[in-house]
Amino acid sequence: MQQSVFTFSLTLYLLFVAFHVFGQQGKPEQPEHGPGGWGEYQHEEIQIIAEYAEEADGYWMYLPASPRPDTADVVVFIHGFGAHNPVAYGSWIKHLVSRGNIVIFPRYQKKLLIPKPTKKYAPNSAKGIKDAIAYLEREHEIVPRLENVVYTGHSYGAKIAAYFAVKYAEYGLPKPKALYAVQPGTMEFKGAQLKHYGDMDEDIKVLNVVGEKDKIVGDNLALLIHNTAGAKHKNLILSAADKRRKKPKLDVTHAAPCGLDRDFSAFKRKNYIMKAVYIRAETDAIDYYCYWKLLDALMDCSFYNKNCEYAFGNTEQQTFMGLWSDGNPIEPMRVFTQPVYPKKTKRRNKKIGKPDEKK
């Protein structure tokens, strides 16, 4: 009798293990080839310039090394509100630098509310960017290709990036070839806000990305940028929730673009936003196939006229999000190439409707 009970218990245990090992669907790993993949990593080390980051208008900078290139394209990466510790985006920064890019990470905050959410955020960011470029020109470590610059950012940082894509000359900044605005929004803060983006140069290529379950900033600013930007090439992209799967969930919330890498931690102090980052910021398929892929492709297309099918046009290459471990595709991204004017609702944020037809 005891042996029967033991055998029955062992059988249940093995069935439990088998369900959790084989029954759950796994997320895809980082691809080897193409934008977002690891196959184009050219540098084994990253040089960190951190001595100029102490103040609210300072900067961190990350340079490819081992081998060190003579020249490199430039990514200006502007953090979200309260996420001024680069650790919040460390895995993404590592990916960009490993591909051979210089990443300038300006800060516009000393602490969460120092300075207060005012008009200082854009000037602080601009000073950090200009000081970083001056460092490169002074030290001659790597010559920045200032003709190949992309402004990108997350949340409030995306709002500032979009502002600079229009106002770069007023701040003495290099003209960007591309703008990559990831979940642009403000939480009602008014600094660096434009009524429209029609004065943007038409040759700047623009991608706006929003998360379907972003309840922090929603899609109001992304819609404004997409609908009014003077850029000739612009797409609005929705990272969609895969409602067919309960586990594992694909994060399409406001936290999704963050990817924690403790090697990039600049200080131990944590505000409530950074505490949430440490809990929620994982690096997975949404990074590889959405945020990283689209920025890589946008830069390739804007700088070298290649991989444009991964950045624009509502193509299969652009919208593909990888395969679950059972071989089924993850819900693809939804792309809008034309202006989007959703119906007004009682909700604080408008709701993006159906995407363009597939090409």
Q: Rounded distance, CA 179 to CA 151, Å?
A: 5
Cα-trace Rg, the chain: 21
Query: What token pair was written down for 338?
Result: 């034309």
Asked whether residue 319 carries a pLDDT value surpassing 70, the answer given is yes
Whether 300 and 35 have beta carbons less than 8 Å apart is answered as yes
- Residues with Cβ within 8 Å of 198's Cβ and at least 6 positions away in sequence, in order, are 228, 229, 230
Q: E strand or H helix at 91, and its extent? A: helix 90-98
358 has pLDDT over 90: no
pLDDT of residue 239: 96
Given the DSSP bridges, would you call strands 234-239 and 334-336 parallel, antiparallel or unpaired? antiparallel
Q: Is residue 153 part of a domain?
A: yes
Q: pLDDT for 243-253, tens place per residue?
A: 777 678 889 99
CB atoms < 10 A from the CB of 32, how many?
Answer: 9
Helices (H) and strands (E) in the chain, counts: 9, 9
Structure confidence by residue, pLDDT tens digits, 23-42: 446 889 999 999 999 999 99
Over residues 263-282, mean pLDDT: 92
Q: What is the mean pLDDT of residues 116-142?
A: 94
d(CA 209, CA 216): 14
In this prediction, residues 261-279 reach a mean pLDDT of 93
Q: Are 45 and 65 a contacting pair, CB within 8 Å? A: yes
Domain span holding position 64: 46-336
In a domain, 52, yes or no: yes
Question: Is residue 146 in some structural domain?
Answer: yes
Q: What gap in Å lies between CA 36 and CA 23, rounded to an integer?
A: 28
| Summary mean pLDDT of the chain | 89
Least Cα distance to 241 among 352, 158, 339 occurs for 352
130 found inside a domain: yes
The tokens for 7 are: 């055998």
What's the token pair of residue 314? 């509502």
Question: How far apart (Å, rounded) are the C-alpha atoms in residues 225 and 194?
Answer: 9
pLDDT at 1 over 50: no
SS3 assignment, position 340 = coil
- pLDDT tens readout for residues 182-227: 999 987 787 898 999 999 999 999 999 999 999 999 999 999 999 9
- Alpha-carbon gap, residue 115 to 200, rounded angstroms: 28
DSSP string, 191-229: TT--S--TTS-TTSEEEEEEETT--SSTTHHHHHHHHH-
| Rounded Cα distance, 78 and 181, in Å | 10
Q: 124: closest CA among 133, 115, 136, 134?
A: 115
Q: How many domains does the chain have?
A: 1
pLDDT-derived band at 260, boundaries 50, 70, 90: very high
Specify if 1 maps to a domain. Answer: no
Q: How many CB atoms lie within 10 A of CB 69?
A: 16
Pull the structure tokens for residue 309. 């099918």
CATH number for the domain that contains residue 65? 3.40.50.1820
pLDDT band at 5 (very low <50, low <70, confident <90, very high): very low
Give pTM, 2 decimals. Answer: 0.90
| DSSP β-bridge partners for residue 153 | 78, 181
Residue 238 lies in a domain: yes
Determine the pLDDT at residue 248: 80
With respect to residue 65, please indicate whether it lies within any of the assigned structural domains.
yes
Evaluate if residue 45 carries a pLDDT over 50: yes
Q: What is the DSSP string of 126-192?
A: HHHHHHHHHHHHHH-SSEEEEEEEEEEEETHHHHHHHHHHHHGGGGTPPPPSEEEEES---TT--TT
Residue 2, both tokens: 């005891």
Asked, for residue 72, whether it belongs to a domain, the answer is: yes
